[in-house]
Amino acid sequence: MIVDFFQKELIHLKCFSLGSDLETRFYEELIVPFLRRMSNLEELFLNLFLNRNIRLYKSFIDGNSLKNDIINHMPKLNKFAVSIHSNFRYINDSSHLPSNDDIQHTFKGLEDYQIISHIDYLPNRKIGQCHIYSNPYTMNYLYRLTNSFPGGLFRFVRKVSLVDERPFEHEFFIRIAQAFPFLKILIINNQSAQNQKQWQQSNENRSSLPVVGYPHLTILNLYVAHDDYIEQFLVHTKACLSNYIRLYIKYYLLQSLTNNFTRDATRIDCANVQYIYNIAQFDVPRHFHTYFPHIEKL
């Protein structure tokens, strides 16, 4: 039954949605041929995360890819929403890869779909990534956002991951909170220390630094984040965590940042933590539960 579905022409299909938050390497080999069987499709929604081989493909998925691979094969298509994140790994020289302006030029003829793009190169990790997406954005997650994220308003997004080799400053987190007002899950992957941290600490008028609110956040993953970002979220003059959240963090960093669970500056936000990943394997001090009054019993 499943084999027949993937082999036969789907001429009666009018609407189709395909989404995955897992990487795939088989866009041209599997996904494109599958979509081309839907010649009478009227509505199409794609949300894909692609890992591409730079030896086989010289460009990211762009407007030309959408037209040549998909849209030109669907003459009845009148509604199209897309979010495609394509990655190149093992890049030693990014000079031959397209710029964001190059990608934008490929959207000529697709103006009705209002497609936005942004490109990033992470030289230490030898990764190039491009995200193209329809505006307004109707998907519920966005992955691997960097400092180049252009902002906007994404009311449907509930899960976001951040990654970069450049530091995330306080202003960036203000932009993230404004862009995703209903954010529930946030994952940070960045080992670069903040440049403006010392200035913020020495600034006498600290009230000029707005507190960033995350009213709907329930999961915060800081397991692969520099300790500056732990402080960014747990110091109450920088962030406000108003829900009981699940926190993913290295225990020794949490212990250090909170001065062995005695620091007043982190007490308010820590009181909103309900669960700390992997904490049960450590011998915590007696006053730990006073510092985390709502933590689940270990």
pLDDT for 57: 77
Q: How confident is the model at residue 297 (pLDDT cuts 50, 70, 90)?
A: low
**Looking at the predicted structure, is the pLDDT value of residue 206 above 70?**
no
Report the percent of the chain where pLDDT is more than 70. 93
Strands 212-214 and 185-190: unpaired
Q: At residue 2, does pLDDT exceed 50?
A: no
Q: Report the pLDDT value the prediction gives residue 204, as an integer from 0 to 100.
A: 42
Residue 201 or 45, more confident: 45
Confidence of residue 22 (pLDDT cuts 50, 70, 90): confident
Helix (H) or strand (E) holding 68: helix 63-69
Q: What is the pLDDT of the chain when averaged over all its residues? A: 90
Average pLDDT for 179-190 = 97
Burial class (CB in 10 A: 0-12, 13-18, 19+), 63: buried
Helix, strand, or coil (residue 252): helix
In the numeric block, the tokens 């899960």 are attached to 159
Rounded Cα distance between 206 and 215, Å, is 22
User: What pTM did the predictor assign?
Assistant: 0.89
pLDDT digits (tens, 9 = 90+) for 152-167: 999 999 999 999 999 9
Higher pLDDT, 31 or 92: 31
